[in-house]
Amino acid sequence: MSAAASPDPLHQLYASHHGWLHGWLRRKLGCPEHAADVAQDTFLRLIGSRDALLALCEPRAWLTTTANRLIIDRARRHAVEQAWLNELAALADPLAGFASPEEQLLAAEALAQIAAALEAVPAKAGEAFLLHYLDGLTHAEIGERLGVGPRMVRKYLVQCLVACAPAEPT
């Protein structure tokens, strides 16, 4: 972040709306810490966002829409993380194969990203993706399994990968 001069519109936006957004989130979420995190992330999302202009015209509408989306993303991420770690914990030796809890978390993060992508594509495309990249089936095997031709399998895979690509570089 550049040390911007005082008329930086982002600074102004932050100064005039951060307190309000935090209050709004606190009322929604009933948890001050969670609210503070989401408020922070919402403003971070603004930096480098392509619709920053929109944010400047309609700041509160943009902030609440973005914050809502972040809440859903976080909920999904936590659900995936929780389910994944619980599943691993249920295995006989949960740490087998994963060198460290950090590594398990990286895997959980990837799964959360994939979970978000799968919501955006047709069910068959998602299944093709998992069969190929998780289970290691070949394109032909997937086509047979899903009753579609090889071109369609390829299309499904591309579609999922595109959905997996994060919209904003992080």
**Taking the complex as a whole, how short is the minimal distance between the CB of residue 81 and another protein, in angstroms?**
6
Q: Residue type for 4, please?
A: A
Residues 24/147, Cβ–Cβ less than 8 Å: no
Pick 1 or 167: Cβ nearer another protein: 167
Q: Is 120 in the site for another protein (CB under 8 A)?
A: no
Q: Is 148 in the site for another protein (CB under 8 A)?
A: no
Q: Is 26 in the site for another protein (CB under 8 A)?
A: no
- The residue behind tokens 């100064």 is 15
61-100 footprint of another protein as x/- string (CB under 8 A): -------x--xx-xxx-xxxxxxxxxxxxxx--x-xxx--
Distances (CA, A) of 108 to 4, 68, 87, 103: 37, 22, 11, 9
| CA 169/CA 58 separation, integer angstroms | 24
Q: At what angle do helices 32-46 and 9-29 cross, to 10 degrees?
A: 150
| Nearest CA among 98, 113, 105 for reference residue 168 | 113
Q: Give me the torsion for CA of 37, 44, 109, 90, rounded to 10°.
A: 0
Q: Residue type for 54, please?
A: L
**Taking the complex as a whole, how short is the minimal distance between the CB of residue 105 and another protein, in angstroms?**
6
Q: Residue type for 90, please?
A: A
Pick 16 or 149: Cβ nearer another protein: 149
Q: Is 44 in the site for another protein (CB under 8 A)?
A: no
4-23 footprint of another protein as x/- string (CB under 8 A): --------------------
Q: Is 113 in the site for another protein (CB under 8 A)?
A: yes
Site residues, another protein (CB under 8 A): 28-30, 68, 71-72, 74-76, 78-91, 94, 96-98, 101-103, 105-116, 118-119, 130, 132-136, 138-140, 150, 154, 157-158, 161-162, 164-167, 169
